[in-house]
Amino acid sequence: MELMTHGDLKSYLRSLRPDSENNPTGRPPPTLKEMIQMAAEIADGMAYLNAKKFVHRDLAARNCMVAEDFTVKIGDFGMTRDIYETDYYRKGGKGLLPVRWMAPESLKDGVFTAHSDCWSFGVVLWEISTLAEQPYQGLSNEQVLKFVMDGGYLDRPDNCPERMHSLMQMCWQYNPKMRPTFHEIIEMLREDLHPSFQDVSFFYSEENKVPETEEFDLDLDNMESIPLDPSSYSQREESLGRDCGPSVGLRGNYEEHVPYTHMNGGKKNGRILSLPRSSPS
């Protein structure tokens, strides 16, 4: 296993606080460019997991590691449940749950998909922006459960760049299907990344290349042989909507969900993929 010199991301971020005793060199907090680099590296690791049909289910700063060159990589270490015990909550006698990082559909129905991982990624962005403060500080775990299931999400951190906050909001769409994929997130950030990202990332690797598909010749003279049963298409569309990795016990039609009026300024919940340009930092 690779040695991660700077430990987990949560401890590393906290060490960068101005009053931290673990920052003897006085290293400053990350700049916007450095935060974007961290975000892209985490998203790249998640895109790899998604390509392999894995769902993480516990993405958080405590489960990301910082290498000697400050590259951030994802992991999932059971020991974090002991080290960061307060980050987990036992609901109804079940296993420990990271409720402050969980999407509403995960809290409500036990659904975990690439979409719910994206919600958790938004919380990681919030952790990066706050130097690893506790999400929903001041609320109990039970209050967080109700707040998120009722359509709530984290406030914009103090001094948080608009670009980071816009990305957080995309990840916190109540409708899971309206959240961006990790590939889309990298696509939005890639122009601001260090050139070395192209050499080491999954996003730019041959493994991530879309395989060529065979051309399909439609026989226009034999159209009656093509099934036109509308139900077959609705079933296919339903299955395609779930093509972002495996899910567990999906229940409820989130396409029909009416978002809460206080979300997105009372407007319809939709995906917005454009991000404000970053200013020089």
Tell me how far apart the alpha carbons of residues 46 and 63 are, in angstroms, rounded to a whole number.
Answer: 12
Tell me how far apart the alpha carbons of residues 262 and 128 are, in angstroms, rounded to a whole number.
Answer: 25
The pLDDT score that the predictor gives to residue 230 is 41
* Structure confidence at residue 141 as a pLDDT band (50, 70, 90): very high
- Strand, helix or coil for residue 89: strand
Tell me how far apart the alpha carbons of residues 74 and 124 are, in angstroms, rounded to a whole number.
Answer: 11
Element (H, E) at 101: none
The pLDDT score that the predictor gives to residue 225 is 43
- Are 98 and 91 spatial neighbours (Cβ–Cβ below 8 Å)? no
- Alpha carbon distances (Å) from 85 to 24, 61, 212, 244: 27, 14, 47, 31
Residue written as token pair 């015990």 = 85
The pLDDT score that the predictor gives to residue 279 is 53
- Are 99 and 144 spatial neighbours (Cβ–Cβ below 8 Å)? yes
What is the SS3 string spanning 3-56? Answer: CCCCCEHHHHHHHCCCCCCCCCCCCCCCCHHHHHHHHHHHHHHHHHHHHCCCCC
Residues with Cβ < 8 Å from 30, sequence gap 6 or more? 13, 16, 38, 128
Most confident of 77-81, 195-199, 258-262, 270-274: 195-199
The pLDDT score that the predictor gives to residue 75 is 85
- Are 56 and 248 spatial neighbours (Cβ–Cβ below 8 Å)? no
Give the residue numbers annotated as catalytic, written as ranges. Answer: 58
Tens of pLDDT, residues 224-272 = 443 444 444 344 444 444 444 544 443 344 343 433 333 343 334 444 4
- Are 64 and 42 spatial neighbours (Cβ–Cβ below 8 Å)? yes
8 forms bridges with which residues in the sheet?
65
- Alpha carbon distances (Å) from 253 to 146, 230, 231: 20, 19, 17
DSSP assignment string, 183-227: HHHHHHHGGGS-TTHHHH-STTSGGGSPPP-------GGGGGGS-
- Are 14 and 22 spatial neighbours (Cβ–Cβ below 8 Å)? yes
Between 233 and 176, the more confident residue is 176
CA angle 219, 222, 226 (to 5 degrees): 85
Tens of pLDDT, residues 23-60 = 766 788 999 999 999 999 999 999 999 999 999 999 99
